[in-house]
A and B are shown apart, each in its own frame.
Chain A
Amino acid sequence: MASLKRSVDPGTVGSNISSKVYVRSTKSGKVQKIVREVYLRQDIPCSSRLCQACLKSAPRDAAGRPTPFVLSEQPAGTREFPQGHYLVPDTNAFLTAMDLFEQSSAFYDVVVLQIVLEEVRNRSLPLYNRLISLTKSEDKRFYVFFNEFRLETYINREDGESVNDRNDRAVRKAVKWYGEHLARSAARKAQKAPAVVMLSNDRDNLRKARAEGLPACSLAEYVNQLKDGERLLDMIPETQDREVTEGKKKPGEHLYPEYFSMSKMMTGVKGGVLHQGIFNVSPYNYLEGSIRVPAFPKALLILGRENINRAVDGDLVVVEVLPKDQWKEPSTQVIEEEAMTKNENPDTEEGSDLVSEKERKALQEEVKRTQAQKTEGHPIPTAKVVGVIKRNWRQYVGHIDQSSVSQSSQQGRKQDTVFVIPMDKKIPKIRLRTRQVAELVGKRILVTIDAWDRDSRHPVGHFIRSLGELETKAAETEALLLEWDVQYRPFPKTVLDCLPKEGHGWKVPESKDDPGWRDRADLRDLLICSIDPIGCQDIDDALHSRPLPNGNFEVGVHIADVSHFVKPNNAMDAEASIRGTTVYLVDKRIDMLPMLLGTDLCSLKPYVERYAFSVIWELTPDADIVNARFTKSVIKSREAFSYEQAQLRVDDESQQDDLTKSIRTLLALSRKLKQKRLDAGALSLSSPEVKVQMESETSDPIDVKVKQLLDTMSLVEEFMLLANTSVAAKIYEAFPQTAILRRHAAPPKTNFDELGNQLRVKRGLELNVESSRALADSLDRCVDPANPFFNTLVRIMATRCMMSAEYFCSGTQAYPEFRHYGLASDIYTHFTSPIRRYADLVAHRQLAAAIEYEAVDPSVRSRGKLEAVCKNINVRHRNAQMAGRASIAYYVGQSLKGKETIEDGFVIKIFSNGFVVLVPRFGVESLIRLRDLHDPEPQAEYDAENYVLKTSGSREVTVELFQKVRVRVTDQKDESTGKRGVKMDLVDTYGR
């Protein structure tokens, strides 16, 4: 009788089948045992051009194309391996020094083992992605060798062997096989085989490899053999370096409390004892952080170095709430790291106390103050960080703290320890070891954090590269782009290949039989014009209007038809979706799409025919929509106006041509549309916007102007809003699950607590935040007859309490959540700027599918993909704004260079040892500290309930919130960030 047991007969069923067993735990905490088959084979090539044997069995894809071999026939040699070498790094090498592998001067011909790739993926997805892009790059010659599937290199885990040890052994086995395999191939060709070198920073692994007679190097040893080794040496993370050379440090006193274990944190969070959230540092006080957790309506405070416990801004951390008697109020003091830790010595790090005397004093004063004012008593729950789930470390731009550099290191080339002060004030100083101190002082440099141990006061990092001299335009611009993660490299060839072959010579085809004309409306005879800022090259939108016989008006908004040129899923589309948006800096524009499209073929330039996507409404004279029509079209813009030109033309009564009349019609309709919007509760918010004027030749900034608001701007804005809303409704109707929309959540009421309280106390005004309408009305009431700017000031401050708007995919939210709070619109999307925003391009594709112009592309229907797109463009959008603002701030600083002006400003925030003044003329705000008022520092009394700061002693002034002050504005190089910025001094308080 047959038995089932006999089915797998180990003798006959080849030895080439194995299985992989591993255990994984799911999100819900269940533990699963997964078994997977592994088919071992012998036809996985070594991919060396030397090898003939592998070439025969090279794998082919379904179309019969073999994969080309990657590794060079004559790889570069080094001192130790003059015959040339291939590198086989282990996981740690990639995890710690990915920057090294991305260098263009060395690290060619690298074999990435499958097991290494898997481990990198487990440990860090961003690094995995960088590694994958390295393997795809043609000139770097990185080859992924699937060692776990090759019979000769596959190994089984032995009894009692840890997974790590097994993987290390797999790496050694692969190195060994490669060496022998290449030796055989080379012998056949009578050539010298290149060495196969294992790169590892694991001492144990290195020792074992050497014992087995395999060539192996630590990263430092290897880099030392290279030509520009010294420069590269700095890029090896320090901690790893130490592990190899010195071994584990003796367990001394630790400065910081130990983190909880992951399982303890997870159980704690599940049980509600601990809380998880993103850690944020206060921009004014580096010793104060906050964290929002679902269990508390307000953010939890985290005060002091010990409680912050090595968390860095943006990290995902777990916190424990402190007992109630330790709850405090948010600090009213400005504490800057720079001032506090000025004289620290980077070398003598270990022994010192965690909290320096000065810091302790600053904190104690805080405590005293809270205890003295028991009456007020709104203490906020405080918490301490007990563990970090995920670090959000990135690369940081900064400069070396001059004072941390010792004299001797200025000349010699010995390794030295210095502090790097990041440009982002929220990031702590980074300790860095380098041999190039002399060259790097005074430069903008890019560094990264490697680790932050319990016994180290500051995080430890390593140097990546230098951007150039401080304060040079090139270095500062690049620094800014890096800080905000803007992709600024030129478009790769694959992207440019997607452009139309005709280049600038591309034209709308003359014959209407051309496929380009299919289903396009011919709108060339309409009087269409565009209105944009001066010097605008990427014209996204154009408008027209004409009276209809029935007394209504036909109004059309015509948007550049970018989706005609950018087809889904090609290289250009992929690049645009990563960039997400065009970034506008003062002197530079970083495009989302190549120039040819953005400023020529797509741009709705005047006097030429262009493809467009048109939204055409019939509007009643009261601006009610009778119907809306969407169509692809061909248009010919009659004129490209600037806002100012259009305004002049409208105001000039003598101009009575049709084009001007149609603009006047549009203007009249737009006013009605705006009124309707305001009636529905749209907010008119404000932010201090300025424009930097440049000298045309040298592009040096000469003046700063506050942006003027013209009627024509509002005209364009209203119709764009109308188009966006109409399109949003249409694509939501066609794709209820996958329409790309934009929402603006109602801000939580607590966001306005402080502003409401300030207005009540200082001006007796009530801020009603029940609904956007109520808020809009109460903002309208916030006027001060003596101070016309007061209303704008309140609006600026209210804007900062808002949530930020975001893109989302309609299936992820319920319909009521679609609402755009600021615009008071039930549904909204972005449609009108496809040249500079990726979201608009997606909306174009969806609209084209909705009107059955073209088939639905899978990428605009897949919810998972759209969610990923939304997530990315939300981040990019925000970063682009930040980069733009930072760029303006930099140029404002530059324009003030060497000048001194006295301006009016307003107090917008008060601390117990300083206050913040906003100068609308330059759109800048700056902190004035007590010690800036006079030397010696005056005494001050701070009345937190009434927001008044009264100084006495060396200088007597009284400053209160919303107060108008006169300040002297000069430029100053900020020592802490190395940025040239605005410095203000109080001149006059207008009689207080």
Chain B
Amino acid sequence: MPLDTSSYSLALLRVDGRRWNELRRINAQIRTQAAADGSSYLEMGHTKVMCVVTGPSEPFGPARVGRTGAGAGATAGASGGEAGVVVSIVVAGFSSVDRKRRGRGDKRIQELQSTISSALAASLHTHLFPHSTISISLHVLSQDGSLLAALINAATLACVDAGIPMTDYVAACTAGSTSTYAANDESADPLLDLNHQEEQELPGLTVATLGDSDRVAVLVCESRVQVSRLEGMLAVGVDGCKQVRAILDRVVRDKGRKMVQEGTVQKGVGLEDMEVD
């Protein structure tokens, strides 16, 4: 039994050696699946997810049009005038410590799907694609906390890769607090980017913002925490989202630069700031 989160106060170090305001290592790639319209792979620490986007395309069947909450995933904004965003999540059985099967009807997964679906629908310019569907399938390969945040980030990257017009990146991360609700510790520090152990032991929330702004696109808090601590947590979370956005942005630009170098794409207008050297 290694030390737990209660040892934070000893040296202001978290269970994995981070400080309160540090993100875990984030690694991301886009265009991992050449055949797909858009694809991405993202690691936040040991949380690993991949995403494939199909569309915007015609709905698979006439029945799909205009239906919300379609069978395989959650749909948002799927009225006739704009594209529907269908999100489906598959959690691999080997992704957590205990091998666990999760069925399609799992309520937690459904909730994740609808959260991501509505968050992306707000940022994607779905009105440009009436009568069509944007289908986002997410695969969870490994879980170590901040799952929702990782899924949102991966989906954002895949949508960028698919070339779907969007307002800005939807970047997400989690924030927590160093002591439990019951401990009611006034001097608790906020924490950025919780791993699995911290998620288990401490209160936390997931926040996503739109690009560099402070506009919150997603805010999910499922644990009990004092209102007085919430503000600090949220501030740290929003700050983390900006860091995440910068990382995602760099991934996209690096890939773009490489593609221009390789000649896969032409350097287009509006890409002046993407220096090719």
Residues in A lying within 8 Å of B, measured CB to CB: 1-2, 4, 7-8, 13, 17, 19-20, 22, 24, 30, 32-41, 44, 59-63, 67, 114, 117-118, 121-122, 132, 135, 144-146, 148-149, 568-569, 857-859, 861-862, 864-865
Contacts and interface: CB of A to CB of B under 8 A. Distances in A.
A65 to B, nearest CB: 9
21 contacts: A2-B34, A8-B27, A13-B27, A36-B2, A36-B46, A36-B195, A39-B17, A39-B22, A44-B13, A59-B11, A62-B20, A62-B189, A63-B187, A67-B11, A118-B3, A146-B10, A568-B184, A569-B183, A569-B185, A857-B184, A858-B184
Interface string B199-211: 0000000000000
B27 A37 contact: no
A212 B34 CA distance: 56
A4 B41 contact: yes
Contact of B2 (A2, A7, A118, A862): A118
Interface of B: 1-3, 7, 10-13, 15-22, 24-25, 27, 29, 31-32, 34, 41, 43, 45-46, 50, 97-98, 144, 180-185, 187, 189-190, 195, 197, 224, 226, 232, 236
A25 to B, nearest CB: 12
A117 B3 contact: yes
Contacts of A121: 1, 3
A121 B19 CA distance: 23
A220 B11 CA distance: 31
Given A13-B25, A67-B12, A7 B3 contact: no
A7 to B, nearest CB: 5
Contact of B1 (A39, A60, A122): A122
A569 B187 CA distance: 12
Pick from B45, B185, B236 the residue with the most CB of A within 10 Å: B45
Contacts of A20: 2
A858 B98 contact: no
A567 B185 CA distance: 13
Nearest to B183: A569
A33 B97 contact: yes
A35 B143 CA distance: 11
B196 to A, nearest CB: 9
Contacts of A122: 1
Contacts of B46: 19, 35-37
B47 to A, nearest CB: 10
Nearest to B25: A17
Contacts of B184: 568-569, 857-859
A122 B21 CA distance: 29
Nearest to B28: A7
A34 B19 contact: no
A281 B271 CA distance: 84
A963 B181 CA distance: 61
Contacts of B197: 36
Nearest to A568: B184
B147 to A, nearest CB: 15
A244 B183 CA distance: 44
Contacts of B190: 62
A7 B13 contact: no
Contact of B17 (A34, A149, A857): A149
B233 to A, nearest CB: 10
Nearest to A9: B27
Contacts of A118: 1-3
Q: Chain A's interface: helix, strand, loop or mixed, by majority? A: mixed
A668 B95 CA distance: 71
Contacts of A33: 97
A319 B83 CA distance: 70
A124 B10 CA distance: 19
B3 A865 contact: no
A415 to B, nearest CB: 38
Given A39-B17, A41-B17, A7 B182 contact: no
Contact of A59 (B19, B24, B32, B98): B19
A308 B99 CA distance: 43
B12 to A, nearest CB: 4
B182 A862 contact: yes
B37 to A, nearest CB: 15
Nearest to B186: A569
A2 B19 contact: no
B43 A7 contact: yes
B129 to A, nearest CB: 27
B11 A146 contact: yes
Contact of B232 (A2, A62, A862): A62
Contacts of A862: 180-182
Closest 4 CB pairs of A and B: A862-B182, A149-B17, A39-B17, A62-B189
A36 B15 contact: yes
Given A17-B25, A114-B3, A862-B182, A59 B15 contact: no
A41 B19 CA distance: 10
Given A121-B1, A857-B184, A859-B184, A32 B20 contact: no
B10 A4 contact: no
A38 B13 contact: no
A59 B12 CA distance: 7
A859 B182 CA distance: 5
Contacts of B10: 132, 135, 144, 146
B31 to A, nearest CB: 6
Nearest to A41: B17
B24 A7 contact: no
Contacts of B41: 4, 7
A22 B2 CA distance: 10
A568 B185 CA distance: 11
B17 A146 contact: yes
Contacts of B27: 7-8, 13
Nearest to B13: A146
A47 to B, nearest CB: 9
A864 B181 CA distance: 11
A38 B32 contact: no
B197 to A, nearest CB: 7
Nearest to B196: A36
Nearest to B32: A2
A39 B182 contact: no
Given A61-B20, A121-B3, A144-B11, 17 more contacts: A8-B27, A32-B97, A36-B15, A36-B195, A37-B25, A37-B46, A39-B22, A44-B13, A59-B12, A62-B232, A62-B236, A63-B187, A63-B189, A117-B3, A118-B2, A569-B184, A865-B182
A746 to B, nearest CB: 33
Nearest to A3: B32
A924 to B, nearest CB: 46
Pick from A17, A30, A61, A67 the residue with the most CB of B within 10 Å: A61
Nearest to B24: A37
Nearest to B177: A62
Contacts of A145: 11
Nearest to A60: B12
Contacts of B180: 862
A39 B18 contact: yes
Contacts of B34: 1-2
Contacts of B98: 30, 32
Pick from B1, B13, B19, B34 the residue with the most CB of A within 10 Å: B13
A132 B11 CA distance: 12
Contacts of A59: 11-13, 19
Contacts of A37: 16, 24-25, 45-46, 144, 195
B32 A4 contact: yes
B1 to A, nearest CB: 5
A61 B182 contact: no
Contacts of A2: 29, 31-32, 34
A38 to B, nearest CB: 5
Nearest to A149: B17
Contacts of A41: 17
Contact of A38 (B17, B43, B189): B17
B182 A38 contact: no
Contacts of A114: 3
B239 to A, nearest CB: 11
A40 B18 CA distance: 8
